[in-house]
Amino acid sequence: TAMDPDAVAKAFVDHYYSTFDANRAGLAVLYQDSSMLTFEGQQILGAQNISAKLNALPFQQCQHHISTVDCQPSGPAGGVLVFVSGNLQLAGEQHSLRFSQ
């Protein structure tokens, strides 16, 4: 039985961003050695390197407020491509930042 891509995307997004906000180091298990993160033009390959980059971001506490979650099936193996946008509120900052991922 095929899974509903929208349900998969929503569950993943809820888990990813709640983990990012509460325990960024916990994101490491979501990446593989073949995973790649492109962040502000820099390509970062592998779970360990991605985790190190995320943990080195120059803020400790933040809260994501998701505005949109768009998804579509991707590839023959049942993958899902997910695009997320919203606001990121950093602790101690008055204004939020827009983000997309």
- pLDDT tens per residue, range 44-85: 999 999 999 999 999 989 999 999 999 998 888 888 999 999
Q: What is the pLDDT of residue 1?
A: 58
pTM for the whole thing?
Answer: 0.89
Is it the case that residue 7 has pLDDT exceeding 80?
yes
Q: Domains in the chain, start-ordered, CATH in brackets?
A: 5-100 (3.10.450.50)
- pLDDT over 90 percentage in the chain: 81
Contacts 24+ apart (CB under 8 A), 30-35: none
